[in-house]
Structure 1
Amino acid sequence: MKTVTERRKGYFLFRWKEYGVGYLFMLPWMIGFSAFVAFPVGWSLYNSFNKVIINSDGFAYEWVGLGNYKRMLIQDNTYPIILISLFQEMLIMIPLILIFAFIVSLMLNQRFPGRGFMRAIFFLPVIFATGQVLMELFNQGAGKLPFVDQYDMAALVNQFFNERTANMILNVLGKAVIILWYSGVQILIFIAGFQTIPKTIYEAVRVDGATPWESFWKITFPAMLPFIGLNAVFTIVDLFTFPFNPVLEIVQRNMFSPNTGYGYASAMAWLYFALVMLLIGITLWITYRATKGRRELR
């Protein structure tokens, strides 16, 4: 009869034989992550609870606890408003990007001449419109749709919505080109998801007399729920690290300000990070519940 220690040892050896090679391949990444990511992240979290002063001897720390967070949320009149406005805009843009990418990928999944060329066209902005190129395009006004000014959309939006909502909608319209530029990866993921659905299922429901509309809602859409969740998480991370993100600009500005410094800027960054992670968590939970319900029906 084996003891508990022997059983645990045997289980550990079994796990190592099964996954040991994978862990060895992950080891360089784990070392790099610990040295270049985990330590800076931990240091920034420590800074958020301190008042960091730079002097001739280096960094001087004065423990303030939650003082930076209280100052940021209560005394600062700018950061909370910009943070809330950004999240409101992103909650509109994320579904628009997902819907646009889903519709385009659905069309690109069909068989027609030049399909590969059209797929490449939609992915090209991902390659070219990044970093400094994207910033230069926006500085030249290429990121705004011309019909917003041509048809005086601002007056029309202000007529039907209050000032705050109208400004939010106009900001989204002003960044509408991002929906085109930031949909390439999502389109490829959706196309890959469509390839996982067996063609025999569509043939079977077609024999049973199901219409294309019914087959979409009964087969295609439920099968694509995991890919919708994956694209939602990717889009959230992509948009919240956008080069023209006003929150990141405020964090950077406060980092080098003598009145705030690294401690206050770290607190702002950690609040922003916590809200983004909360949004990602909600997205994963919704995706899990949707896919779980689908599995239970099976």
Structure 2
Amino acid sequence: MKEKNATASSATVKQQKPPKKSNMTIRARNTLAGYAFISPWLIGFFTFIAYPIIYSIVLSLNAIRITPDGTEYTWKAFYFYDMALNQSTDFRTALASQVSMICYMTPIILVFSLIIALLLNGKFRMRAFFRITFFMPVIIMSGPAISQLLTGYTVDFSSSVPLIFEFLSSLPSFLATPVEYVLNNLVLILWFCGVQILIFLAGLQKISPDLYEAASIDGAGGWEKFWKITLPHLSPMILICGVYTVVDIANYSKGAVNSLINSKIFNAKSLYSYSSAMAWLYFIAVALLLVALFLIFKFFGRKAKTT
């Protein structure tokens, strides 16, 4: 009987083997889940966007002629790039205007977005309504609407309101110029702030209230809490919003460069090669702005750690 019980117990032990552990680590699982989430975008990119990007490079390096038998290509190397940079002043003027617009509007939009997010993060009545109101322009944004904002709803506050004109006249030029730009383009700036406000709100709600309570016990004021707690915790969001803002303004359909490229594509001569070269030069300029943004962010991040 003892031998039978022993064999039976050993059989049950063999049957109740521990489940096999998966060879995948937690990091590998998270990576796989991340790829699963972005797979629809990757499929769409390689299906609809990758070929036009590659073909635009081919167009910028070749002169094309559309004939009844098809499209003829003539190798021109960097002729159209040289044409855009050296032979024509239209592109250089448009590029300078667009880059200055990006450099002006990016910090202004970030500051406005952060201020509005701080206000919307407070506790007050109809808070959800105001959050929806500030995000609504992102949903209904369109080219004609933005064009109407530029032409019909841009108010020249600096000259039409005497009090503001006197205030701007008393400021140095390096301060008066950005203030005047903000006042004259206030509606357009607020129009571009929706996504950034949403990102900043998400970052603010992740900050633990215990940090603010501990700072209050130590005697810290609101300004100190902002610089020592709020701003450091929002630093990743500031970088994300900065990159998004630069790209968003760069893709602005009524911008100087995009308007010039569209006019060259759809004119009687159909300058596809010249337009493609301008588009790639514009892409390089925007990429350099993004690199500069990363370097500035990295520099101030290191400086904040040392202090």
**TM-score interval, normalised by the smaller of the two chains:** 0.7 to 0.9
C-alpha distance in 1 between matches for 2:280 and 2:286? 10
Q: Which deviations, in whole Å up to 9, do the C-alpha atoms of 1:245-279 show, x marking residues without a partner?
A: 12111112222445572111100000011111221
SS at match of 1:210: coil
The structure-2 alpha-carbon separation of the partners of 1:206 and 1:169, relative to structure 1 and needing over 3 Å to count, comes to: closer
Deviation at 1:232, TM superposition (A): 0.9
Distance of aligned partners of 1:28 and 1:225 in 2 relative to their CA distance in 1, 3 Å threshold:
closer
Structure 2: how far apart are the matches of 1:104 and 1:234?
A: 17
Match of 1:197 in 2: 207
Once the two structures are superposed, residues 27-86 of structure 1 have per-residue CA deviations (whole angstroms, 9 ceiling, x without a partner) of 443333112111110110111111122222222111111111111111101110121122
Change (3 A) 1:221 1:77: same
Q: 2:192 aligns with which of 161, 182, 205?
A: 182
Matches within 5 A, 1:5-154: 14=24, 18=29, 19-20=31-32, 22-23=34-35, 26-139=38-151, 141-142=152-153, 144-145=154-155, 147-148=157-158, 150-151=160-161
Moved more, 278-287 or 209-218: 278-287
Please identify, of 216-225 and 130-139, the stretch whose mean Cα deviation from structure 2 is larger. Answer: 130-139
Q: 1:286 to 1:108 in 2, by over 3 A?
A: same
Distance 1:53 1:287 in 2: 46
- The structure-2 alpha-carbon separation of the partners of 1:207 and 1:26, relative to structure 1 and needing over 3 Å to count, comes to closer
Contact 1:225 1:290 (C-alpha < 8 Å) held by counterparts: no
State the shift of 1:150 in Å.
2.1
TM-score, with structure 1 as normaliser: 0.81
Contact 2:109 2:189 in 1 (8 A): yes
How far is the alpha carbon of 1:209 from its aligned partner? 1.5
Q: Which residue of 2 aligns with 1:238?
A: 248
Counterpart Cα distance in 1 of 2:248 and 2:82: 29
Instruction: Give the superposition deviation at 1:173.
Output: 5.4
Q: Hey, what's the Cα distance between the residues in 1 that align with 2:42 and 2:239?
A: 26
> Whole-Å Cα distance in 1 between the matches of residues 265 and 185 of structure 2?
27
TM-score computed with the length of structure 2 as normaliser? 0.79
What residue number does 2:19 align with? none
Read off the aligned partner of 1:145 and give its amino acid letter: V
How far apart, CA to CA, are the structure 1 residues paired with 2:86 and 2:165? Answer: 32
Unaligned runs of 5+ in 2: 1-22
**Counterpart of 1:9?**
none
Cα 1:216–1:172, aligned 2, differ >3 Å: closer, same or farther?
closer
3-state secondary structure, aligned to 1:78:
helix
Q: Is the 8 A contact 2:215 2:225 kept in 1?
A: yes
Distance 1:161 1:293 in 2: 29
Q: Could you list the per-position Cα deviations for residues 173-230 of structure 1 after superposition, in whole angstroms to 9, with x for gaps in the alignment?
A: 5433111111111111111111111111111121112222112111111111111111
| 2:264 matched residue in structure 1 | 254
The separation in 2 between residues aligned to 1:230 and 1:23, in whole angstroms, is 20
Change (3 A) 1:65 1:57: same
User: What do you get for the CA RMSD once the two structures are aligned?
Assistant: 3.3
Q: 1:141-176 deviations in whole A, cap 9, x for unaligned?
A: 02x02535524889988xx869xx97x997775433
Q: 1:65 & 1:154 partners in 2: Cα distance?
A: 52
1:226–1:287 CA contact under 8 A, matched in 2: no
**Are the equivalent residues in 2 in contact too, given 1:53–1:261 (CA < 8 A)?**
no
In structure 2, relative to structure 1, the CA distance for the partners of 1:126 and 1:21 (3 Å cut) is closer
How many equivalent pairs are there? 279
Larger radius of gyration: 2
* Unpaired segments ≥5 residues, structure 1: 1-12
